[in-house]
């Protein structure tokens, strides 16, 4: 059998159809009748054109893409060229004619006039009046293309792809809104013709003849009079013609006003009926005066409930009727953010509702390459999404995680790019709840750790040898020392608490960032076996030391400034400096070079915390990776290093705060003219032996410019940043001022009733 070939070309809006050398013309488009009276009642209704053109225009404004099952966009290849680079049938025309025929009749046919194997190279779009199915024994065996002049071209099944909806009467044809609404539109049309004729007749419906009372006519006379009247005066052309009534007859005209006819209401009802048939909101075509509503909710409703279903339906047929024929060709997809041609909201395709609706149907049909109309990127839908986002974002202030709100309301945001999107927030401060959960309430309310490093409040019990003292004087002396120490440590407990919380948050932030990096570097529940892969994961997870050192130095400087100022104020109060002199004293002492040196030494040493953290993390991760652990186990290892760090945070805060207060006290005492100093230890069970010895050795004053020799270190004061870690970590000892020749009992007696200036006092004064 010879291969059938149908060729077409367009000339001045017409398609020339050639079959085996014989040519005919077929006019393309929608013909609702020409001049004169239409052959169908709805043919002259302009609102049909308005609705159909509105559907076509909006459909053409929505971008169509070729997508793949792995959420990529295809921008080249045979099917792309056929749809978007086809000069004989541009994509815009393909959509216009397909959407137009489908909007009117719910029936349209794609005729593949030429093919290369199974892949089409030329396409013709026709309506139901031109292409008709050939039925044999209830089955479609082919199609016939009807040409003007009576010519008919038979077509094979594989040459035609029909697109139609359900028709309860004839299953081989669709049922469009014009057919379904023909009676309604026809009734309105006929009523319009009646009103038009009535207006042309001067709104006079008829003429009434009356006779005087008592006058009677027999039937023959009535018929003769009526016939004569109709012959002479019937019809609009005889309106107003003179009529001479004789024999006592009286003539009355029956007329109708414009209000009675309600011409405008009838026309509006006619147009509203057509808009309803085509699914076009009346506001869009200016039947209603609410222009603002027309450009907002009405347009959004039009796209969501009319345009999107039509385009999704056509996308299915593009996928199965055209794209399927290119399934053996090569296609390459790119990510949406790498696309050169995509012009829309560049969130992940799976975030788009219209894409998901199309994709699931393509996957169900076993098609990996499919057509997709991006209605989500239409300006009206974008505006709707923004309005919806403004309304629902308030739920995040009620504690609902942002990503849950995005998923619940299909907002166009990429949840993978919002690392805090899964957090529950606590209003009104908007603090992530898991920060508080990770820290635990005890991290905020418990007193600082004791010097020995064990958890719990500082001990108020005297040292063991206190109970062994024999004389009452010795016991009273030790009790005074303990009271002085307690008053001093309480004075800066507030700064230590704030510092502890800041370090706790610092470690928790590091934990969150490390876990995010770990999840990226290592897929969930997947272990890495190779050593080089282990090193790569560790390298990608460990943090930037330079960046983290800068952050921890900034934290330390904030609290060093507070603590050192507190120490300066304590020294000034003990020296009797008050009023304006106190303010000048504090400001000048804060600028002392010794204070700056102490800060520099503290900042340099605190950087070692990050190196220690990094080493601990690297060791834990390598151990886990070598053991073949996956993401959950490695996550627990990171939390062991950074999550359970309350003790570590308090230890750092204790060390840095105590050292800063002591630095301020020492420099303040020197500036105030103090000549001698003594060392007072904590007098509890957790004091280091070397500090106990220092408390006994330096119970009598030494010159303030001489160092305390403690465990081989030369310390100018307790907690001196220049000292070794063994002497300064968690140190709670205090430097007290004394005078030349003053006994320790006198010093303790002076300090036992002294209220040290506290952090709270300093805050009140500043306020």
Three state DSSP letters for 536-599: HHHHHHCCCHHHHHHHHHHHHHHHHHHHHHHHHHHHHHHCCCCHHHHHHHHHHHHCCHHHHHHH
How many structural domains are present in the chain?
2
540 and 407 assigned to the same domain:
no
Percentages (nearest 5) of helix, strand, coil residues in the chain: 55, 15, 35
694 and 657 assigned to the same domain:
yes
State residue 279 phi and psi, 5-degree precision: 75, 30
Q: What is the pLDDT of residues 219-262, one digit of tens each?
A: 887 788 778 777 777 766 676 676 666 666 776 666 655 555 55
Residues 6+ apart with CB under 8 A from 484: 680, 734, 736, 748, 751, 752, 754
Predicted confidence at residue 402, as pLDDT, reads 80
398 and 524 assigned to the same domain:
no
529 and 628 assigned to the same domain:
yes
Name the pairing type of β-strands 73-74 and 107-116: unpaired
Residues 6+ apart with CB under 8 A from 229: 207, 209, 243
Predicted confidence at residue 141, as pLDDT, reads 93
**Is the residue at 298 inside a domain?**
no
How would you write 668-733 as a 3-class SS string? HHHHCCCCEEEEECCCCCCCCHHHHHHHHHCCCCEECCCCEEECCEEECCCCCCCCCHHHHCCCCC
Q: What is the pLDDT of residues 376-432, one digit of tens each?
A: 888 888 888 888 888 887 777 667 888 888 777 777 776 665 666 777 665 544 556
**Is the residue at 313 inside a domain?**
no
623 and 656 assigned to the same domain:
yes
398 and 476 assigned to the same domain:
no
660 and 760 assigned to the same domain:
yes
d(CA 33, CA 45): 11
Sign of the CA dihedral with 83 first, then 88, 89, and 93 last: positive
671 and 624 assigned to the same domain:
yes
Q: Which helix (H) or strand (E) holds 111?
A: strand 107-116
Burial label for 109, CB within 10 Å (0-12, 13-18, 19+), is buried
Q: Are 553 and 580 in contact (CB under 8 A)?
A: no
**Is the residue at 251 inside a domain?**
no
Picking from 429, 459, 485, the residue at the C-terminal end of a domain is 429
Nearest to 89 by CA among 123, 120, 126, 130: 123
CA distances from 561 to 65, 495, 758 (A): 61, 11, 15
**Is the residue at 497 inside a domain?**
yes
Q: What is the total residue count of the chain?
A: 767
**Is the residue at 27 inside a domain?**
no
Residue 205, preceding peptide bond in cis (omega within 30° of 0): no
DSSP string of 415-453? GGG-TTTT--EETTTTEEHHHHHHH-THHHHSPPPPTT-
Could you tell me the pTM of the whole model?
Answer: 0.49
Question: Domain residues for 397?
Answer: 382-429
Residues 6+ apart with CB under 8 A from 157: 140, 141, 142, 143
**Is the residue at 416 inside a domain?**
yes
Picking from 362, 394, 429, the residue at the C-terminal end of a domain is 429
d(CA 313, CA 98): 11
How would you write 248-280 as a 3-class SS string? CCEEEEEECCHHHHCHHHHHHHHHHHHHHHHCC
421 and 569 assigned to the same domain:
no
State residue 539 phi and psi, 5-degree precision: -65, -35
**Is the residue at 113 inside a domain?**
no
DSSP string of 386-409? HHHHHHHGGGGGGT--HHHHHHHH
Picking from 362, 395, 429, the residue at the C-terminal end of a domain is 429
d(CA 183, CA 359): 39
State residue 673 phi and psi, 5-degree precision: 95, 10
Predicted confidence at residue 747, as pLDDT, reads 87
Predicted confidence at residue 268, as pLDDT, reads 58
508 and 609 assigned to the same domain:
yes
Predicted confidence at residue 557, as pLDDT, reads 92
Residues lower than pLDDT 50 in the chain: 1-44, 263-265, 428-429, 439-469, 524-532
670 and 723 assigned to the same domain:
yes
H-state helical runs in 15-132: 46-60, 78-84, 91-105
d(CA 283, CA 301): 11
413 and 546 assigned to the same domain:
no
**Is the residue at 355 inside a domain?**
no
């Amino acid at each position: 059998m010879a291969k059938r070939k149908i060729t077409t070309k367009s000339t001045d809006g017409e398609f020339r159809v050639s079959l085996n050398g014989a040519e005919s013309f077929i006019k393309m488009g929608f013909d609702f009748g020409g001049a004169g009276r239409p052959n169908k009642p709805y043919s002259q209704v302009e609102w049909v054109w308005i609705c159909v053109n509105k559907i076509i225009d909006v459909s053409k404004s929505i971008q169509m893409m070729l997508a793949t099952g792995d959420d990529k966009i295809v921008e080249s290849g045979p099917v792309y060229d056929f749809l978007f680079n086809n000069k004989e049938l541009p994509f815009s025309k393909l959509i216009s004619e397909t959407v137009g025929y489908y909007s009117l009749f719910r029936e349209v046919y794609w005729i593949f006039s030429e093919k290369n194997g199974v892949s089409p190279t030329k396409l013709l779009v026709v309506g139901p009046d031109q292409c008709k199915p050939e039925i044999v024994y209830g089955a479609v065996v082919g199609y016939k293309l009807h040409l003007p002049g009576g010519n008919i071209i038979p077509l094979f099944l594989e040459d035609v792809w029909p697109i139609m909806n359900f028709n309860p009467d004839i299953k081989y044809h669709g049922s469009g809104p014009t057919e379904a609404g023909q009676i309604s539109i026809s009734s309105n049309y006929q009523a319009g013709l009646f009103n038009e004729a009535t207006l042309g007749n001067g709104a006079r419906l008829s003429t009434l003849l009356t006779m005087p009372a008592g006058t009677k006519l027999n039937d023959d006379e009535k018929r003769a009079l009526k016939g004569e009247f109709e012959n002479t005066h019937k019809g609009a052309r005889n309106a107003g013609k003179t009529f001479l009534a004789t024999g006592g007859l009286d003539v009355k005209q029956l007329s109708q006003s414009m209000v009675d006819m309600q011409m405008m209401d009838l026309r509006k009802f006619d147009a509203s009926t057509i808009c309803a048939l085509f699914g076009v909101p009346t506001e869009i075509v200016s039947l209603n005066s609410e222009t603002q509503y027309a450009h907002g909710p009405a347009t959004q409703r039009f796209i969501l409930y009319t345009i999107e279903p039509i385009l999704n339906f056509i996308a299915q047929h593009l996928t199965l009727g055209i794209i399927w024929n290119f399934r053996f060709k090569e296609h390459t997809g790119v990510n949406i953010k790498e696309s050169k041609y995509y012009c829309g909201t560049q969130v992940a395709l799976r975030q788009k509702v219209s894409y998901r609706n199309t994709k699931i149907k393509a996957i169900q049909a076993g098609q990996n390459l499919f057509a997709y109309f991006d209605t989500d990127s239409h300006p009206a839908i974008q505006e709707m999404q923004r309005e919806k986002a403004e309304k629902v974002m308030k739920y995040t202030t009620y504690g609902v995680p942002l990503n849950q709100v995005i998923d619940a309301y299909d907002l166009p945001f990429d949840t993978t790019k919002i690392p805090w999107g899964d957090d529950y927030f606590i209003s009104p401060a908007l603090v992530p709840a898991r920060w508080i959960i990770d820290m635990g309430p005890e991290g905020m309310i418990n007193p600082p750790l004791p010097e020995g490093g064990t958890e719990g409040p500082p001990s108020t019990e005297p040292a063991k040898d206190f109970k062994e003292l024999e004389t009452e004087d010795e016991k009273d002396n030790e009790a005074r020392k303990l009271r002085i120490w307690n008053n001093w440590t309480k004075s800066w407990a507030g700064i230590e608490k704030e510092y502890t919380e800041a370090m706790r948050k610092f470690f928790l932030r590091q934990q969150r960032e490390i876990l995010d990096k770990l999840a990226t570097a290592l897929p969930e529940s997947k272990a890495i076996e190779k050593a080089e892969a282990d090193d790569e994961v560790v390298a990608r997870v460990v943090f930037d030391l330079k960046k983290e050192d800068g952050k921890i130095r900034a934290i330390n400087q904030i609290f060093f400034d507070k603590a050192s100022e507190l120490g300066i104020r304590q020294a000034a109060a003990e020296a009797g400096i008050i009023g304006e002199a106190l303010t000048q004293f504090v400001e000048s002492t804060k600028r002392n070079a010794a204070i700056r040196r102490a800060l520099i030494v503290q900042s340099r040493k605190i950087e070692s915390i990050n190196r220690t953290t990094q080493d601990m993390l690297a060791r834990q991760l390598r151990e886990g990776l070598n053991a073949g652990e996956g993401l959950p186990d490695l996550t627990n290892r990171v939390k062991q290093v950074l999550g359970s760090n309350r003790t570590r945070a308090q230890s750092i805060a204790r060390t840095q705060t105590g050292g800063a207060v002591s630095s301020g006290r020492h420099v303040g005492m020197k500036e105030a003219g103090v000549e001698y100093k003594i060392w007072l230890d904590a007098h509890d069970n957790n004091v280091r032996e070397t500090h106990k010895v220092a408390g006994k050795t330096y119970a009598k004053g030494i010159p303030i410019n001489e160092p305390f020799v403690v465990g081989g270190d030369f310390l100018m004061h307790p907690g001196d940043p220049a000292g070794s870690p063994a002497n300064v970590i968690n140190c709670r000892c205090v430097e007290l001022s004394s005078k030349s020749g003053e006994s320790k009992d006198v010093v303790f007696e002076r300090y036992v009733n002294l209220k040290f200036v506290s952090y709270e006092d300093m805050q009140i004064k500043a306020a």
